[in-house]
Amino acid sequence: MSELLFLVEPDPDGGWTAQAVGASICTQAETIDELEAVVRDAVACHFEAGERPKLIRLHIVEDRVLAA
């Protein structure tokens, strides 16, 4: 696997959640910087050393509501 994509969303209770697309990996953290670290750790735990993706992409999805 050359790349693994995570969908990152704000958690309603605070912080951020990240869900991998195509792999059963889900994690959360209080800040984006912390999330980067826990995502790397989760990927390292999920894949064997030779099977780890070379690139981890975080796609941040955030709704913004504007009053008309």
Average pLDDT, the chain: 94
On whether residue 68 sits in a domain, the answer given is no
| 65, part of any domain | no
Inside any domain, residue 66: no
**pTM confidence score:** 0.87
DSSP string, 28-66: EESSHHHHHHHHHHHHHHHS-GGGS-SEEEEEE------
pLDDT at 64: 82
Give residue 16's domain range: 3-60
Residue 67 belongs to some domain of the structure: no
- Domain count for the chain, please give it: 1
Mean pLDDT of the region 40-63: 93
Identify whether 53 is part of a domain. Answer: yes
Mean pLDDT score, 33-52: 95
Decide if pLDDT at 63 tops 90: no
**Is residue 18's pLDDT more than 90?**
yes
